[in-house]
Structure 1
Amino acid sequence: MTMFWYAYRSYVAVGGLLLTLFLYAMLLTAHGMERPQFVLDQASASVQHVNSRPWRTASDFLAGRKYMVLTFDDGPYGYGLDEQILDILRKHHARAVFFLVCSHINEANRDVLGKFERAGNLIGNHSYDHLKLDTLAQPELEQQIGGCSKRLAELTGRHPYYFRAPFGATSPLVAKVAQSYGMKQMLWNANSQDSWVTKPEQILQWSTEQPEDQSILLLHERPTTVAVLDQMLTQLEQRGFQFVLPDQLSDSSEIN
């Protein structure tokens, strides 16, 4: 009887250990789980999980897994730089939101819009002429915001869903005009500082130290940024980040 009891306890212990290891492995790998969905949280300029399940939350916590949105402003740049960004994103299985300035689009670079979309990226509206929009009256805003949306729709066959004001210079009126064209305003809560920093190593430092889980990172289509983009994404991945896009959901299902 004693030997049976010891054998029984051993089987239970081994079984419990194997079950624990299996569950832990499942949590770490997120095997069999649905792809996490995210939506834009305009109030905090971040993204948030949609209907995040406890199993997914536990898995992310145990694995140190974090999520972020990459965004690139001021494109298209041309001269092959856009394609360099796409190649680096593809290497890291990453996608991004490209906020384009419509006056930057010309015959030489217009084909890159299709390349952005075919690679699974999103195209956003960054105004027509990159002006400080919070200083403009509504008729001018209609041209800057609505005019750019119309131009992007002509080139891609769809109106953009996300809008970003140049310099982040927004206002209630700017947001209202963007909304009237069916767009959500996306700002950021992590900044690479690449709009003014000229040393790539400083851009790398800002870009890898600032982001936290569910951040939106502000980048620009510039050679100095592209010079460290591969290294940047590698370091972010080492911190546990995965690069995601916010889903384009209706008002009724979006966090505001």
Structure 2
Amino acid sequence: MPTRTHRSRARVVPALFAASLALLLGGCSVDSTSPADARADAPKSDGKPLASGRSGPAVDCGEAKCIALTFDAGPGKDTPELLDMLKKEDVHATFFLLGKNHVLKHPDVVRRLAAEGHEVANHTWTHKRLDQLDKDGIREELGRTQDAIAEITGEKPRLMRPPQGRTDDEVTEVSKELGLSQVLWSATAKDYSTTDSELIKKRIVDQAGRDGIILLHDIYDGTVPAVPGIIAELKKRGYTFVTVPELLAPAAPEPGTVYRP
């Protein structure tokens, strides 16, 4: 018969696993706003285009079954192929770009992202965990990427994604100062851990939900080949693909706010 100590541990382990899973899927425990709440609480936008080269909401996500496709840590060698796929499918995505060795290495791809109507966003300079830095360090990681992207596209991003989804009050404060909203996610394929494109597709399709935000990486070998199947299956299920600002519209992304489905 299990002792009281053993029974306590049996209860604690699943609880810790659940907490870890929640952290992995959605970042640290901070106040956040869902896309639906953002739409309900803000009757009008800030008047800015929803993405470079496009204006006006393409779809009303209060009525349509919307989902946002997002890519982290690029651009990389496969990003041009991904852009060809998205163009063919008439899908616009949100790209959270890394500065060092990515934005600097692929300026033409960054320029193309903006020109083709995708949302160009910030994923820090070197992918350091922002919650482990002081304010100056956070400002350096985000500010350098802001400046590098603006030099290429002529516009600073308004969205950022903290590495590993780790954020805190200081990250929020600096993000607000820099005019950046924080965007977490609801579906992840853990594509950093597999090159199996069918598995990546299955994980995303299984987690998909209305007002969801999909997290993928366009720098891993199995990811880009999985994208056509993800798009085809979710379109078949009635989803409309949008950028993150389109998902929030008519609300405008609020600097400092953490958005999470």
TM-score under structure 1 length normalisation: 0.72
Query: Does the CA-based 8 Å contact 2:135-2:170 persist in structure 1?
Result: yes
- 1:225 and 2:214 matched: no
- 1:117 and 2:114 matched: yes
TM-aligned CA deviation for residue 107 of structure 1: 6.0
For residues 132-187 of structure 1, what are the alpha-carbon distances to aligned partners after superposition, in whole Å with 9 as ceiling and x for unaligned?
11111111111101121111111211110001011111111112111110010111
Distance 1:176 1:93, change over 3 A: same
For residues 192-250 of structure 1, what are the alpha-carbon distances to aligned partners after superposition, in whole Å with 9 as ceiling and x for unaligned?
22122332221111111101011111011122111111111100101111101214826
2:241 to 240, 243, 252: 243
Match of 2:51 in 1: none
- 1:182 and 2:179 matched: yes
Counterpart mapping for 1:161-172 below 5 A: 161-172=158-169
TM-aligned CA deviation for residue 49 of structure 1: 4.4
Q: Report how many aligned residue pairs link the two structures.
A: 204
Query: Does the CA-based 8 Å contact 1:129-1:144 persist in structure 2?
Result: yes
Instruction: Output the CA distance in 1 between the equivalents of 2:168 and 2:61.
Output: 35
Query: Does the CA-based 8 Å contact 2:74-2:103 persist in structure 1?
Result: no
Question: Any unmatched runs of 5+ in structure 2?
Answer: 1-30, 45-59
Match of 1:153 in 2: 150
Query: Does the CA-based 8 Å contact 1:192-1:204 persist in structure 2?
Result: yes
1:94 to 91, 96, 108: 91
Match of 1:7 in 2: none
Question: What letter corresponds to residue 223 of structure 1 in structure 2?
Answer: D
Instruction: Output the CA distance in 2 between the equivalents of 1:147 and 1:237.
Output: 37
Question: Any unmatched runs of 5+ in structure 1?
Answer: 1-41
Match of 1:43 in 2: 32
Question: What letter corresponds to residue 122 of structure 2 in structure 1?
Answer: N
TM-aligned CA deviation for residue 45 of structure 1: 5.1
**Which SS does the other structure have where 1:105 is aligned?**
helix
Match of 2:76 in 1: 77
Q: Percent identity?
A: 28
Between structure 1 and structure 2, the one with the greater Rg is: 1
Instruction: Output the CA distance in 2 between the equivalents of 1:244 and 1:108.
Output: 27
For residues 74-119 of structure 1, what are the alpha-carbon distances to aligned partners after superposition, in whole Å with 9 as ceiling and x for unaligned?
00113xx111111111122110110000002366521101110111
Distance 1:100 1:251, change over 3 A: closer
Range with greater deviation from structure 2 (206-215 or 43-52): 43-52
Match of 1:135 in 2: 132
Distance 1:119 1:207, change over 3 A: same
Query: Does the CA-based 8 Å contact 1:71-1:216 persist in structure 2?
Result: yes
Instruction: Output the CA distance in 1 between the equivalents of 2:108 and 2:191.
Output: 25
TM-score under structure 2 length normalisation: 0.71
What's the RMSD between the two structures over aligned residues?
A: 2.7
Query: Does the CA-based 8 Å contact 1:75-1:104 persist in structure 2?
Result: no
Counterpart mapping for 1:5-24 below 5 A: none
Distance 1:88 1:145, change over 3 A: same
**Which SS does the other structure have where 2:191 is aligned?**
coil
Instruction: Output the CA distance in 2 between the equivalents of 1:45 and 1:68.
Output: 13
